[in-house]
Amino acid sequence: MTKLFVYPGKGEGFVFNLKGEKVSIGRLSDNDIPIDDAYSSGHHAVILPTQSGYAIRDNGSKNGTFLNDKKIMAETELKRGDEILIGSTRIIFDLELKTDVEVTEEQLPASNVQSVIQVKKILKTPDIETTLREFAAAPDIHKLRSDFKFFSVLSEVSQALILHKPIDELLEEIMDLICQNLPMDRGILMLEEGSPPQLVPRVVRIVNKNLKTQRIQVSRSIIDVVRDKNSSVLTYDAQADPRFQASESIIQSNIHSAMCVPLWNNKEIIGIIYADRISIMDRFSEDDLKLLTLLSNLAAVKIENARLIQKAIEKEKMERELALASQIQKDFLPKKNPECDNFDLAGMNLTCYQVGGDYYDFIDIDPCRMAIIIADVSGKGVSASLLMASLRADKYADLNPEYTLESMASK
């Protein structure tokens, strides 16, 4: 069923199912899709069924109807993914809106870097002497509660991630688990991909539905500290933090607290996890940063394991396919050596790899003549074996008593 994904300027988005009938959109309550938008007219626009799908028409509204940033002047056919703008309300035709993620190229001066926590420090296990001293001293109730929470969450997440899953499914589950255990408005998991490596958003979570239509801008100034120093960054009020005063992306997004931690698999950084909060009253804490760091380390190790398992699965699949190709290629060769008066004939083929480009055959032309084919395709492996198979097919397609080496080579 064709759907409209409606994202008001204020309030939560919703989905409207199109059923092959005319749909009116506007500010008044008698519309099929009423929108509380001061910049829309009473009966602003209509979506009409057509022979090929649906079209949109403006009803002479005061501020106009826009399709993909262009004002429509007549009835216009809609395509999947088209974006309709009525006032401040965005309507996506038959495709759910994906939140844009942008890494802005703002740099954090090295002289201003401070109050960041190295990942190794968070992950470090205390030695026995330190533990005994802590037990001998007066107990830190807050630390005990934090440690208990960390242990409980990590245990729960470890259990949830114990089974192998395809990498895309795993990434989705990782972000779901993080959102369940940490207060956040938005979160992003980005992986290093390509050559040279670039951070690519793989999973985006918008917990605060009022932010669904806003672009997420992640400041390069924060990412650089995370990657260069293998450290986790927390800013309690990103707009007021002097380290990030140059970061327009933070100010424009109205971010009051943000965290960014590396996906470190104990060998290298394979990506980052970013989370932010808009509320000025409910900011991230340092405990939140430590918990996110621990979860991201667990996630990075799991992602690396999933990649290794996937490579092993692909290798096994390739080996099975090559074994099958090897058997097929062996079937191309003579099953037995021919019997010929006055001559002893024998042939054998041993490939360097599972498949190769060497080929021989014995062909009876007539009672008095036999053709012997010996061929060696330049190269080894799959490419050579494909040429060998092509040569064999040409031979059987065109073999006759007048067939010569020159005519074979010309093919």
Q: What is the pLDDT of residues 340-384, one digit of tens each?
A: 777 888 887 776 666 666 777 887 777 778 878 777 766 565 656
Residue 18 to residue 35: CA distance in whole angstroms? 17
Domains, the chain, ordered by start: 3-93 (2.60.200.20), 101-241+250-309 (3.30.450.40), 333-409 (no CATH)
Contacts of 391 (CB under 8 A, 6+ apart): 359, 375, 377, 408
pLDDT for the residue 23: 95
Interhelix angle 141-160/167-181, nearest 10 degrees: 150
Helix (H) or strand (E) holding 110: none
pLDDT for the residue 125: 54
Residue 203 to residue 221: CA distance in whole angstroms? 21
pLDDT for the residue 177: 87
Residue 361 dihedral angles phi and psi, to the nearest 5°: -165, 155
Six token digits for residue 327: 């058997």
Q: What is the mean pLDDT of residues 103-120?
A: 56
Residue 298 to residue 284: CA distance in whole angstroms? 20
Residue 375 to residue 347: CA distance in whole angstroms? 12
pLDDT for the residue 239: 47
pLDDT-wise least confident of 20-24, 83-87, 117-121, 144-148: 144-148
pLDDT for the residue 197: 84
Residue 278 CB burial class (10 angstroms; 0-12, 13-18, ≥19): middle
- Cβ-contact 208, 197 below 8 angstroms: no
| pLDDT over 90 (residue 182) | no
pLDDT, tens digit (0-9, with 9 covering 90-100), for 240-296? 444 444 444 444 455 678 889 999 998 999 999 999 887 666 788 888 888 888 888
Provide the residue type at 21 as one letter.
E
Eight-class DSSP state of 14: E
pLDDT for the residue 127: 46
Name the pTM for this structure: 0.57
